[in-house]
């Protein structure tokens, strides 16, 4: 994404699948530099959260919406060695591969069933990506499916999008006995140096434990 396209960040959640893929393909070259300039720290914060819960550093981790690999890179810095990344943008995945922090990478639409076996991962994370999930409950059920019993599921979501419908979708998964809430953070800065966003676009970090 060129600098003059940044305004699209305010409404890209409404894009079609094809437009979304094109958007991130085109942004992939400048993505890491642009996000650093915007003050983006969610990958590092998320990685520290998982590291605090005594996961073995050899445990398999799923990184959904991994983009160019900033999230996997942060996990790697915390010592995690076995990371699988999923993303819609093939061009972004190529840049993630070049970082050398993923054992596997796969291009897929996360609004569809994930192309992964049951109970494959000790933990799954989805950082900065839920904006593009059209139906939250089925997606979260998929994360519960691919995570081992007692495994961790961590995600971020923007405060301005974390409304009653989103909470109800999470509660539906809880009512089905698939997971239990471990931690819901206070709002944290998302892109503090990006002037189009204010406190309304702060993010929550939610951590759930899959049913044992």
Q: How many domains does the chain have?
A: 1
Residues 6 or more apart in contact with residue 65 via CB below 8 angstroms? 71, 86, 87, 110, 126, 127, 128, 129, 132
Output the pLDDT for position 7. Answer: 46
The residue with tokens 């002037």 is 195
Question: Can you tell me the distance from the alpha carbon of 187 to that of 205, in angstroms, rounded to the nearest whole number?
Answer: 8
Kindly state the average pLDDT of the residues 194-212: 94
Q: What is the pLDDT of residue 54?
A: 81
Tens digits of residue pLDDT in 36-80: 999 999 999 999 999 999 899 999 999 999 999 999 999 999 999
Structural domain boundaries, residue 22:
3-210
Whole-number Å distance between alpha carbons of 120 and 60: 8
Domain with residue 88: its CATH number is 3.40.50.150
Phi, then psi, of 11 in degrees rounded to 5: -135, 10
Task: Enter the pTM of the model.
Answer: 0.94
Pairing of strands 147-158, 203-210: antiparallel
The helix, strand and coil proportions of the chain, stated in percent and rounded to the nearest 5, come to 45, 25, 35
């Amino acid at each position: 994404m060129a600098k003059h396209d940044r305004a699209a960040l305010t409404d890209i959640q409404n894009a079609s699948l094809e437009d979304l893929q094109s958007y991130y393909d085109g942004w992939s070259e400048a993505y890491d530099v642009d996000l650093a300039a915007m003050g983006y720290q969610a990958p590092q914060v998320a990685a520290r959260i998982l590291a605090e819960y005594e996961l073995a550093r050899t445990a398999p981790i799923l990184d959904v919406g991994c983009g160019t690999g900033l999230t996997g890179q942060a996990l790697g810095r915390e010592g995690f060695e076995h990371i699988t990344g999923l993303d819609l943008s093939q061009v972004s995945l190529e840049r993630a591969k070049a970082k050398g922090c993923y054992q596997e990478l796969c291009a897929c639409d996360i609004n569809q069933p994930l192309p992964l076996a049951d109970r494959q991962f000790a933990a799954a994370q989805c950082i900065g990506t839920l904006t593009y999930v059209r139906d939250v409950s089925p997606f979260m059920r998929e994360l519960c499916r691919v995570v081992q019993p007692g495994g961790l599921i961590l995600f971020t979501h923007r405060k301005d999008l974390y409304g009653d419908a989103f909470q109800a979708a999470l509660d539906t998964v809880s009512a089905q006995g698939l997971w239990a809430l471990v931690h819901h953070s206070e709002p944290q800065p998302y892109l503090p140096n990006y002037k189009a966003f204010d406190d309304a676009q702060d993010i929550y970090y939610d951590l759930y434990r899959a049913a044992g």
